[in-house]
Amino acid sequence: MDSVVSEFEGSLLKNYDVFSYFMLVAFEASGLIRFVMLLVLWPVIRFLDMLGMEEISLKLTIFVAVGGIHKSEIESVSRAVLPKFYMDDLDMEAWKVFGLYDKRVVVTKMPRVLVERFVKEHLRADEVIGSELVFNRFSLATGFVRSDSITSVSERVAKLFNNEVPTLGMSRLSTSTSTNHSLFKLCKEQKQPPFMKNQKYNDDKHFRPHPVIFHDGRLVRRPTPSTSLLIILWIPIGVLLAILRLTLGATLPFWAIPHMSKLFGGKVIVKGKPPLPPSTGSSGVLFVCTHRTLMDPVVLSSVLKRQVPAVTYSISRFSELLSPIPTVRLTRMRNVDAERIRYELSKGDLVVCPEGTTCREPFLLRFSALFAELTDRIVPVAMNYRVGFFHATTARGWKGLDPVFFFMNPRPVYEVTFLNQLPVEATCSAGKSPHDVANYVQRILAATLGFECTNFTRKDKYRILAGNDGVVSCTSMADRVRKVVSTFKPCLP
């Protein structure tokens, strides 16, 4: 059996420096104060690295980043936030070599819990060797790690392979402090960056890593020291800008919003020709949109220059209060929801997002077929957005802050593409099943945006990112308070 042992940092990942990943943990699992503290210590950490004291600087980074954080929060960030940034930093040429082998082992200098989920689920590694975080009896991280010596790491690798010699060792250039100084000499063959796939292996064995379809967290960019400083300096300005933008959006008429948004850095790109408003006495058009943020129906209404009600499932009451358009809250009871949608369509146009939840990555979730049963006047609308600093969606945090984070970005951009209304022969009136119509709309919207269709649902997203089905009931005031406090973690320590 061919086997490979690879370093994670500097080999599978392009970047050897792990500081930015601990900045992510500090921000997403604890809050802004710890984020600032870790950035303040960066010059000290960098100085220790220059002196060759990498082990001490790493332990200091870990202590500040995770000390006092609950185990469940660290695991949540490892599951929902870090994989996206690891994937962005993945060296695909290294992966092509790594993926050719039957047994794959990853060695990391980070705590194992921060890496294991990604390398096993996305890179299909069999084992991960790294240090272990120490937790107290309350499951709070002490900030210390149980790190194995280079010798014991070598022994663990030998045990994994039943004392057989691994076929290949992948590592960066040797240094006196890196594990490859002794560990990878145990391998029959050694490779260092840049990696090139060996043509002697059958290309049919190669497969791509599993893509990251769902991810959470507020930060768009990996917080390197320079990016982190820029984010910290921008936050006070961004909060004031968001308040101003939200106030104007709630008070100005819809025809003025596109013009005013340009003055404050926003931009809306419109493609295709939107349909005319329904004539008096006729039923409305059902706009079927991709769901990127809670702002989708609002942006659509601003483009149409009229208020178009939006169907919603579980947005917060705060978001409903901020919404400048009417919202129609559904119950997830199919018959009741169908009657509500029919009633709204009898009054005029309506917006629906059949995915049922937002998705950040270039994928579309499975469309609910309910919309196809209720009308034949269906206009697909491809929605997409670009932001610079903060994501406007969350699965683990408080959704009421989603519009605030969207407008905190310096130049938020929305793209709205109107497709032609579905012909009658493509609707249920021509004998098509609701599922066929829904799948067809999903495919044409995905093709327009260059996205991929999936069969994942809202429940799949929340089970992966938040460990629940996305429906949380707070039965007491204490539960409500705890829920609100926990969702402020991107802003509070």
DSSP summary character for residue 219: B
* Nearest alpha carbon to residue 112 among 147, 88, 86, 136: 147
Give the whole-angstrom CA distance, residue 452 versus residue 49: 43
Residue type, 340: R
The confidence score (pLDDT) of residue 283 equals 79
What burial class does residue 274 get, using C-beta atoms within 10 Å of its C-beta: 0-12 exposed, 13-18 middle, 19+ buried?
A: middle
User: Where do the structural domains in the chain lie, given as residue ranges?
Assistant: 3-192, 235-487
Q: Where are the alpha helices (DSSP H) in 177-295?
A: 225-251, 257-263
Domain 235-487 has CATH 3.90.550: no
- Determine the pLDDT at residue 195: 78
* Distance, CA of 294 to CA of 400 (rounded, Å): 10
Name the one residue in this structure whose structure tokens are 């063959």: 189
- Nearest-10 crossing angle of helices 19-29, 225-251: 40
Look up residue 381 and give its two tokens: 């609308």
pLDDT confidence of residue 321: 76
Q: Is 420 exposed, middle or buried (0-12, 13-18, 19+ CB in 10 A)?
A: exposed
pLDDT of residue 490: 38
pLDDT at 219: 96
Between the CA atoms of 48, 50, 55 and 56, what dihedral angle is there, to the nearest 10 degrees? -10
Phi, psi of 371 (to 5 degrees): -60, -35
Report, as ranges of residue numbers, the positions in the chain whose pLDDT lies below 50.
175-179, 199-202, 204-205, 472-493
Exposure string of 215-252, with b = 16+ CB inside 10 Å and e = fewer, is bbbbbbebbebebbeebeebeeebeebbeebbeebeee
Q: Which among 299, 308, 467 has a CA at the least distance from the CA of 385?
A: 299
Give 273's strand partners.
Answer: none
| Range 3-192: architecture per CATH | 3-Layer(aba) Sandwich (3.40)
- pTM for this entry: 0.87
pLDDT number for residue 150: 52
Q: Which two tokens stand for residue 4?
A: 């490979």
Side-chain half-sphere exposure of 345, counting CA atoms within 13 A:
21
pLDDT at residue 214, rounded to an integer: 93
Question: Which phi and psi angles does 107 have, rounded to 5°?
Answer: -110, 125
Q: Are 413 and 385 a contacting pair, CB within 8 Å?
A: yes
Exposure string of 176-207, with b = 16+ CB inside 10 Å and e = fewer, is eebbbeebbeebeeebbbebebeeeeeeeeee
The arrangement of strands across the sheet holding 310-312 comes to 267-271, 413-418, 378-386, 286-289, 350-352, 310-312, 327-329
